[in-house]
Chains A and B, each alone.
Chain A
C-alpha cells in the first residue's frame, strides 16, 4: 500500500495540474448540488437590462432577454453533469456486462456482440448521436441514451479483453468447481476484477460525454429554451458574436471548457495511477 501512495505522489509531482483538476471537479460537483442556492439572480427572470456587458452587478453580463448569465452558468452545472454522469454510468453498466459476456463465452455470442459494436463504430459518433435523438425524439433523456450508445463500444472492448485474459485464471476455475453459475462468476468475480480498467475508461470518457451532450444541445437537440445549459447558452449567444457582444457565448463556453478540461486532466491522472501501461 505504501508503494501505491508513493506512486500517486510521483504521478502528482510529474503532473501537478491533476491537483487543480481534482479541485475543479469538486467545485463542479459542489455547483451541481448547490448552484441554485448560490446564484445571485433568478436564472429565468428576464429584465430590462438587455445585453449588458460584464460588470460588478452582472459578472458575466446579461443575455438578449436580460437574464443574468452568471446565474445561468451556475445552475447549468447540474444539468450538464447530470447528463454526462448518467450517460457514462449507463454505458459503463451495459458495456461492462455485454463485454464480460462476450469475453467469457467467446464463440458465437462474442461474434454477435462484436459485430453489433462494429456497426455502431461504423458511424461518425456524433452523427450517430444525432440520429438516435432524431429517432427517439427530442428530449433530455434521449440525449442521455444517445451519448450512452456512442460510448458503449469502448466499454465493451475494454471489458471483453480484460475478461478474456482472466477467463481461465485459477480463481475463475475455483469458482466454477465450487458450483457457481456462469452469470454469478461474471458478475461477482470477473467484473469487480476488471473494474479499475473500466473506471479509467469512464473517467477519460466524462469530459467527452459533457462535450457531446453540449454539442447536441448546441444544434438544438435535447435541452429546450428557457432551460439553462452551457451548450444551448453558447448557441443563444452565438448570433451576437459578429456584432462584438462576446459575453453571451464566451462565458458559458469557458465554463464548458473548464469542466471538460478538469475531467480530462483528472482522467489522465487516474489512468497514470491505476493503469500506467495505457499511458501515451
Chain B
C-alpha cells in the first residue's frame, strides 16, 4: 500500500532512470507483506474454529483412549497428559503449539499421524482440483468472451442456459451420469477405481501429481493411464465450476467493453482482435481472477463428492471414511487443511492480481 505522499515522491523522481522501477518493486513487496499479515487473522479464525470443533465433538477423548476397562484414576492421568485439565485459553495455546509443530494427532483408524495421512493424500486431491479448474477455465473464458461480444445473440442465450444448467447440476449426479455414459454405455472411460488402473505402478513420486511425475519419468504409458482416470472426475468438477466463471467473464468483459478507452480504440479503428484480447480482456482479468478464488473454494467442497463417486484416494475420501467411523482427529485435520489451503489460495490470487494490474499496485 502506498500513501499519496509516496506517489508524489515517485513523480518527482520520475526523471531518474530506475528510481520509479525500484519503488514499484518495493511497493509490490510491501503489499505482499501487508497481505500476508492480513491473512493471519483468517488463519487464526480457522485455528479457533477447529479448536472449538474439537471441543464440541461428542465423546470424551480421555475415556476413549483409556479404553473400556480403565479405572477413573487412569482416565484422570490421561486427561492430565492431554492437557484437558487446564483452562480453556491454556488448552487453546497448547493446541496452537501442537498444530504449529506438526503434531495434528493420530488417526485411530490407521494408527498413522494425521499429517502423514494428509500429506500422502493431498496431491491426489490437488491434482484433481487443479485439473478440473484448468478445464473449467478453458470452457469458461471463450464462453464468457463470446457472449460479451455478442450480447443478446443466440450464442449468448445458449451460454446463459448452459451456465444455469451447470449451477443446477448436483456434482455427484453429473459424475454418475458421465460414468454411465462414458464407462458403461460407450466404454471409453476406465473403471472408476482411483488414480491408476489396478496393478499399474505409480510413477516415482516427485510432486505427487501423477501426470507431472510420469512426464518427468518420460513414461508415456503411465501418463495416458493416469490421464484417462483423471478425465471424468476432472470433467465433473469442470462442469460445476464453469458456470460462475463464464458468468463473471461475461459481466467483466461487458463492463470493460463499454468503457471510454475501448470506445477510443474503436474510434482509432484498431483491429477487433487487438481491442478484445489486447485491451478489454486484460482489463477484465481482475474480477475473473477474484471469482476464480471463490470457485476454488466451491471446487474444494465439491471435490469431496467427486472423490466419493470416483473412489478417488484424496483427502475428501479420507475425511468421509473418518466421519463415518467418528475418527475426529482426522476430520479436524481435514477441515484445518482445507481452511489453510483456501486462505493460501486467496493470498496467492491477491498477489497475482497486484502483479498483473498496475492500477491496484498504485491504489492499494
Please give the residue numbers on chain A whose beta carbons come within 8 Å of chain B beta carbons, in ascending order. Answer: 115, 118-119, 122-128, 130-131, 134-137, 207, 211, 214-215, 218-221, 231, 234-235, 238, 241-244, 246, 249-250, 253-254, 256-257, 260-261, 264-265, 268, 280
Contact = CB atoms under 8 A, between A and B. Distances in A.
B49 A134 contact: no
Interface string B178-191: 01100110000001
11 contacts: A115-B41, A124-B300, A124-B339, A126-B298, A130-B331, A131-B49, A214-B170, A218-B170, A219-B305, A234-B176, A244-B184
A63 to B, nearest CB: 15
B257 interface: no
B123 interface: no
B342 A124 contact: yes
A218 B172 contact: yes
Contact of A119 (B42, B167, B298, B308): B42
10 shortest A-B CB distances, which residue pairs? A126-B301, A119-B45, A253-B173, A124-B300, A261-B168, A280-B251, A135-B56, A260-B168, A124-B301, A124-B297
Nearest to A128: B335
Contacts of B342: 122-124
Contact of B304 (A126, A250, A257): A126
Instruction: Name which of A123, A128, A235 has the most chain B CB atoms within 10 A of its CB.
Output: A123
B309 A238 contact: yes
A214 B184 CA distance: 25
B164 A264 contact: yes
Contacts of A235: 172
Interface in B309-364: 309, 319-320, 323-324, 328, 331, 334-335, 338-339, 342-343
Contacts of A118: 41-42, 45
Contacts of A125: 297-298, 301
A256 B183 CA distance: 23
B319 to A, nearest CB: 7
A137 to B, nearest CB: 6
A134 B328 contact: yes
Interface in B42-57: 42, 45-46, 48-50, 52-53, 56-57
Interface of B: 41-42, 45-46, 48-50, 52-53, 56-58, 164-165, 167-173, 176-177, 179-180, 183-184, 191-192, 247-248, 250-251, 297-298, 300-302, 304-305, 308-309, 319-320, 323-324, 328, 331, 334-335, 338-339, 342-343
A20 B58 CA distance: 46
Contacts of B247: 280
Given A115-B41, A124-B301, A130-B304, A246 B170 contact: no
Contact of B338 (A127, A244, A264, A265): A127
B173 A257 contact: yes
B239 to A, nearest CB: 12
A146 to B, nearest CB: 12
A257 B169 CA distance: 6
Say whether chain A's binding surface is mostly helix, strand, loop, or mixed. helix
A115 B300 contact: no
A250 B176 CA distance: 8
A134 B57 contact: yes
A183 to B, nearest CB: 28
A131 B57 CA distance: 10
B305 A253 contact: no
B183 A242 contact: yes
A50 B63 CA distance: 45
Contacts of B172: 215, 218, 231, 234-235, 238, 253
A215 B309 contact: no
Contacts of B169: 257, 260
Contacts of A207: 167-168
Contacts of A268: 164
B320 to A, nearest CB: 6
A215 B306 CA distance: 10
A145 B167 CA distance: 23
A154 B324 CA distance: 30
A122 B308 contact: no
Given A244-B184, A260-B170, A268-B164, A123 B309 contact: no
Contacts of B48: 119
Contacts of A115: 41, 45
A250 B45 contact: no
Contacts of B165: 261
A268 B247 CA distance: 13
A36 B157 CA distance: 38
Contact of B335 (A127, A218, A220, A253): A127
A215 B335 contact: no
B284 to A, nearest CB: 13
Given A131-B331, A220-B323, A234-B176, A242 B192 contact: yes
B164 A215 contact: no
B167 A264 contact: yes
A136 B172 CA distance: 24
B183 A123 contact: no
B170 A253 contact: yes
Contact of A265 (B164, B323, B328): B164
Q: Which of A125, A136, A241, A243 has the most CB of B within 10 A?
A: A241
Residue among A124, A136, A253, A261 with the most chain B CB within 10 A? A124
Contacts of A215: 170-172, 305
Most buried by A among B57, B323, B343: B323
